Amino acid sequence: MKTIASLTAIISITLSSLTLHAQNDSSSLPMNAPASYQNVNFNDELPYVRIGAGIWLPQGKLGEVMAPSPMFEFALDFANGHELRSVEIVMQFILPEQRRAFIYDTAAGRFTGSSNLILNGILKFKKPIYSTGANRVELGAGLGISAMFISENDLDFKDAIPYESANTILFIPGVCWYHSFKDASVLTLGTDLHIAPYTVAGAELSKLGAIAFIPKVTYRF
């Protein structure tokens, strides 16, 4: 139940950010704007769907516990008409591979646990810093929540972990190179820096560090 509650909280925050952004866009229209103007503006502000994949590369103490792991991303990209800046609402799914299991020493006994999913919900802002022809380079920065879901490795200790997820604030700066095609689709190559200070409550090694890199490739429809 704790896992479901954490997952629901992340999705709710992400959807709330989406709703707030849409309301702000609507409120920016003049009250007496003609219908044709409103229609053009609405179409310009429709979000793009972007999907991608990459590799989560944990560093420092986090890298001692977790190995490089696959990451998958789904995003809604809200760009203004001239794409001078944009806002993204991003969901990232990381399938972590552990080098060392978390060790718990409780009154019920000594057991281990491991993570099989890290879920990130992010609100990200981006701005181009260089463009030429169909190519451009963008800097971005985002803020969100990261949840590392943890389960027992031994079924004899089911529900013995005090908290089924390690939740933390996530800060995510990054840089991306974009190539636009004639059909308005976009291919992206980039790298994000994840700063998320995970604390695994109850484990012998509770402080995991905070730094990971994610080189990734994405495609915008």
Enter the DSSP assignment of 32. Answer: T
Burial class (CB in 10 A: 0-12, 13-18, 19+), 138: buried
The closest alpha carbon to 106, from 164, 153, 151, 162, belongs to: 162
CB 165 within 8 A of CB 146: no
The closest alpha carbon to 64, from 166, 198, 214, belongs to: 198
Q: Look at residue 8 in the predicted model and tell me its pLDDT.
A: 52
Burial class (CB in 10 A: 0-12, 13-18, 19+), 55: middle
Q: Look at residue 9 in the predicted model and tell me its pLDDT.
A: 53
Contacting residues for 90 by C-beta, under 8 A, at least 6 apart: 73, 74, 75, 120, 121, 122, 123, 124, 142, 144
pLDDT-derived band at 154 (thresholds 50, 70, 90) equals: confident
**2-220, which class in CATH?**
mainly beta
pLDDT-derived band at 108 (thresholds 50, 70, 90) equals: confident
For residues 166 and 212, give the distance between their C-alpha atoms in angstroms, rounded to a whole number: 16
Mean residue pLDDT across the chain: 81
pLDDT-derived band at 5 (thresholds 50, 70, 90) equals: low
Mean per-residue pLDDT, 4-11: 51
pLDDT-derived band at 157 (thresholds 50, 70, 90) equals: confident
CB 98 within 8 A of CB 65: yes
Q: Where are the beta strands (DSSP E) in 14-61?
A: 48-58
Residue bearing the bigger pLDDT, 164 or 150? 150
For residues 109 and 154, give the distance between their C-alpha atoms in angstroms, rounded to a whole number: 11
**Which amino acid would we find at residue 184?**
A
In the chain, count H helices and then E strands: 3, 11
Q: Look at residue 43 in the predicted model and tell me its pLDDT.
A: 42
Name the pairing type of β-strands 102-106 and 165-180: unpaired
Q: Is the pTM of this model over 0.85?
A: no
**Stretch among 7-21, 26-40, 79-93, 181-195 having the lowest mean pLDDT:** 26-40
pLDDT digits (tens, 9 = 90+) for 162-210: 778 899 999 999 999 999 898 878 899 999 999 999 999 888 888 988 9
Residue 4 has pLDDT above 90, yes or no: no
Highest mean pLDDT among 10-24, 101-115, 146-160, 167-181: 167-181
The closest alpha carbon to 153, from 117, 115, 118, 119, belongs to: 115
Residue ranges of the domains in the chain? 2-220
Mean per-residue pLDDT, 107-121: 90
